Amino acid sequence: MTSKMETQTFFWLLLLVSVGFLWVLKPFFGPIFWACAVAIIFTPVQQWLLPRFNHRRNVTALATLGISIIIVVIPFIFVASSVVSQGINLYQKLDSGDISLEGIVTQVSTRFPFIQEMLLRYDVQLDELQNRVTEAAMATGKFMAERSINIGHNAFQFILNLGVMIYLTFFMLRDGKRMVELVKQAVPLGEERKGLLFAKFAEVTRATVKGNIVIAAIQGSLGGIIFWFLGIPAAVLWGVVMAVVSLIPAIGAVLIWGPVAIYLFAVGNYVDAIILTLFGAVVIGLVDNILRPILVGRDTKLPDYLVLTSTLGGIALVGINGFVIGPLIAALFMAFWGIFIREFNHRDPV
């Protein structure tokens, strides 16, 4: 009796301490998440460097960290500062009336009457649409302006989070395998089940982080380049927006460059409109079709509809980090139920 009570007390205390530890780490969830993501992405680089540094783990992890900072961190800081600057500038132009969204909607509807007819068919009034577009654009611009001010006021917090992420990335690179083995030992499951679940976890994380981020970055960069080439304002800002929407399956960058191409057709700028349409459909569009099977493949082994719903749900719950967390939870859900069906739901043949 005493032994059973001691065991139950221990497990309750273990649960309490674990929840408390996670609660303490909650403010640094973002840095911890991205430290894991960067470590996963650059693990192949670390494995390539390891024999070249005579298997010295500290030196190899430090060299890999330096490469990740050059490739990921520095460009991120540059792009973030450019996005904030261009976002504020765009908001000021909207607020002052230099850019009239109502005029843009009117031009498009006049040039393409079928759009107005389609809106009327769904009982959407043009004036109402103009007001909604203007309100949404102003709200978005105001949000970005406020966020940029907050970033300025909370510069210490940003630097702290960045420092924590870089610091943790070093240890994730150096001790990642050891940490995984410790977690495996702590999980009270059979070796076969642990192997299956951890393999699924690694597959989905690698596929979503490596594939989706790289594909989104390429599509956003291509979109920003073509916008800059055509002289479209705030090219870096729109490139980042295209990268973000590229993370959402079945939507992609066409959500951004498509309306811009329609507007260029509406104002009679046919050459730029044709260039943007061809570049968007052929170059940006094919990036997803060509690179996704190479970088992601079928590692997730999830139906497309499940990837879409879990990605959107993850983003809605935890923000941008949800594009990895959502599919990961969905994949683990499928893996657990697969084990249950295979091992616990046997039916005797009739």
Pairwise pLDDT comparison (113 vs 187), residue with the higher score: 187
Structure tokens at 326: 């959502």
Whether 219 contacts 238, CB under 8 Å: no
Task: Please measure the distance between the N-terminal and C-terminal CA atoms of the chain and give it in whole angstroms.
Answer: 44
Backbone angles phi, psi at 253, to 5 degrees: -70, -15
How many of the other CB atoms lie within 10 Å of CB of 135?
11
pLDDT score of 348: 47
Identify the band that residue 349 occupies on the pLDDT scale cut at 50, 70 and 90. very low
pLDDT at 299 over 70: no
Residues 6+ apart with CB under 8 A from 54: none
- Give the whole-number percent of the chain exceeding pLDDT 70: 68
Is there a contact between 84 and 144 (Cβ–Cβ < 8 Å)?
Answer: yes
Q: What are phi and psi of 230, to 5 degrees?
A: -85, 0
pLDDT digits (tens, 9 = 90+) for 114-164: 666 665 666 655 566 556 656 665 565 556 555 555 555 566 677 888 888
Q: Following DSSP, what letter does each residue of 280-339 receive, concatenated?
A: IIIIIHHHHHHHHHHHTTTSS---HHHHHHHHHHHHHHHGGGHHHHHHHHHHHHHHHHHH
Interval 61-91: pLDDT, tens: 899 999 988 888 888 777 777 776 766 676 6
Q: What percent of the chain has pLDDT over 90?
A: 4
The dihedral over CA atoms of 71, 73, 75, 78, expressed in degrees to the nearest 10, equals -170
Question: What is the DSSP secondary structure assignment for residue 252, as one 8-state letter?
Answer: -
pTM: 0.68
Stated length of the chain: 350
**Residue 209 and residue 32: Cα distance in Å, rounded?**
14
